[in-house]
Amino acid sequence: MTPRLWAPFAERVELVLPATGDRSALQAQPDGWWAADVALTHGTDYAFSLDGGPPRPDPRGTWLPDGVHGASRAFDVDRFAWTDDGWSGVDVRGAVTYELHVGTFTPQGTLAAAADRLEHLVALGVDVVELLPVAAFNGRHGWGYDGVALSAVHEPYGGPAALQAFVDAAHGHGLAVCLDVVHNHLGPSGNYLHELGPYFTDTHQTPWGDAINLDGPGSEHVRRWICDSVLGWARDFHVDAFRLDAVHALRDDSPRHLLAQLADEVAELSDRLGRPLGLVAESDLNDVVSLRPTAAGGWGMTGQWADDVHHAVHALVTGERHGYYVDFGTPDALVTALTRVFVHDGGPSTFRGRPWGAPVPADVDGHRFVVFDANHDQVGNRALGDRPSTRLDAGGLAAQAALVLLSPFSPLLFMGEEWGATTPWLFFTDHPEPELAEAVREGRTREFGGHGWQDLYGGPVDVPDPQDPATFAASVLDWDEPARPEHARLLEWYRVLVALRRAVPDLGSGDRSRTVVDVHPAQGADDGPWQGVLVVHRGAARVVVNLAHVAAAVPVPVERPVRVVADWDGGVVRPPATAGDPLVVEVPARAVVVLA
């Protein structure tokens, strides 16, 4: 590789080779670029010194063997012997995605160990495995959302070669790989970009401070840095899709939004590679501008996350109403979410204190929206990192799974959810800087001082110390659990539901116009989580969910003869008393019956 650096703030740039101590001057190029006149072989450590300052890693480098403060190492992406020549890819629209964090998915916490568990995902029926951010960050343990090197793989996970091997293994199992990438901010430690050039701008502010410079002087090179990173993952690491973190924080007033540029460039690469490449945006805007084609002024994303569906399911089944759940928890909110996607689609949002969102046009396919009953945020951003499995009975977990997996959307599962994992998933960090570590501790405690957390947990919340190694250790999945009877039963239920999406076209369809929900409240239900029966029409199929603590006999209109294709805790279908009457489905308490 030939070292190059965009550093318009520098008067002089030197290439530093730590192994020998050699320094050589880079040649100035137009627009603030610098280039060396040497080619580095694979495995050579190198860094850049600006105006005689300390050596800094390459912001475009792919290998940081000594962490984000150390030198970069030249990595030849062509050394790996790929075996996926026949891989044709996966369209993420309608796919079942499995979200995992490399560091806590296995006790070893590496990509190689995660690859050894891919057969579990195949047996589950997953289509796409989504890795939480693998970009290099400071310390050994962390969620990965404070990365500082967009194109480098966190060394404790195995580094760049391990990612290539993981993707190759996944493709061999028929699984696509999605990377969670963070372009809206960088972590506080190891971020040297401010020394190089105008990577940030105070024209816009984000929750993390100054925004990434996407529309000011020099922004064309910052945008190039971001786009080249994504293209490199797809081209050199064979990654199939990308989950783009918090795109609402990509503040860009330029005529062509960064995401539109990225979408067009990814589409061109997809054509060249001959396989689909997906871009899925996490957006808090409740606006399908992200899905609109770039030619029509949109951002051209393949899909976007729909948090409102999670909130509607979670609040209804658990009864939680704190924080941003305040407008959810009713059957009407769930009906809106399952048919119109956004509950906040232009009306008032109590949590935000103002109107929010816009309606989803009727012709937007449901498969464009990724939904879930748990994910890293919705579990890890709770004070105690507690999963739904710690608060719900087995029937409640089965009901949530059915509502999500048999919805008209693209479902996502969070690692361990499929067997009702009892391990928490906490917020954990490993900052070696004492001041930063203490700031994280104080911020985490302060975050849970309100929004109803004390009411939820029944008293003051003792927030686990993110810096305590025990906090990280507690978050590692227990792979002995899936074999235990109560967990094995739920795991089989997930497998059945995923299989039904493929076996029954109506249950796998993204046609929202053929999704209707009948609501049957339980008589005399107490306060708390809603009790009653939901009948979700999915074309000619029916998903009958009894959330009450008593059995129910429910009329279920059908378009043609149906049979029970799956059930949680049984159920009996009674034929209509007279022609034209609905079927009657007798559903046990806290049970699910699927008809098709």
Rounded to an integer, what distance in angstroms lies between the CA atom of residue 246 and that of residue 250? 8
Burial class (CB in 10 A: 0-12, 13-18, 19+), 20: exposed
| CB-based contact 92:144 (threshold 8 Å) | no
From residue 472, how far is each of 110, 430, 465, 479 by CA, in Å?
Answer: 14, 9, 10, 16
481 carries an active-site annotation: no
Q: Please count the other Cβ atoms lying within 10 Å of the Cβ belonging to residue 346.
A: 13
Residues in Cβ contact with 292 at an 8 Å cutoff, skipping those fewer than 6 apart: 298, 299, 300
Q: Identify the DSSP state of 56.
A: B
Q: Which of 130, 180, 236, 245 is catalytic?
A: 245
240 carries an active-site annotation: no
Q: Please count the other Cβ atoms lying within 10 Å of the Cβ belonging to residue 385.
A: 20
Rounded to an integer, what distance in angstroms lies between the CA atom of residue 247 and that of residue 258? 10
360 token code pair: 């989803």
Helices H / strands E in the chain, number of each: 16, 29
Q: Identify the DSSP state of 582.
A: P
Q: Identify the DSSP state of 466.
A: T
Rounded to an integer, what distance in angstroms lies between the CA atom of residue 414 and that of residue 384? 17
In 287-350, where does DSSP find H-type helix?
307-318, 331-340
174 token code pair: 């028929």
Rounded to an integer, what distance in angstroms lies between the CA atom of residue 554 and that of residue 562? 15
Q: What is the 3-state secondary structure (H, E, C) of 256-284?
A: CCHHHHHHHHHHHHHHHHCCCCEEEECCC
Site of tokens 């290439």: 15
3-state secondary structure of 125: coil
Q: b/e for 44-81, b at 16 or more Cβ within 10 A?
A: bbbbbbbeeeebbbbbbbbbbbebbbbbbbbbbeeebe
| CB-based contact 326:367 (threshold 8 Å) | no
- E-assigned strands of 257-407? 278-281, 303-305, 348-349, 354-355, 369-371
Q: Which of 58, 215, 236, 282 is catalytic?
A: 282
Please give the backbone phi and psi of residue 399, each rounded to the nearest 5 degrees, phi first: -65, -45
Supply the residues annotated as catalytic.
245, 282
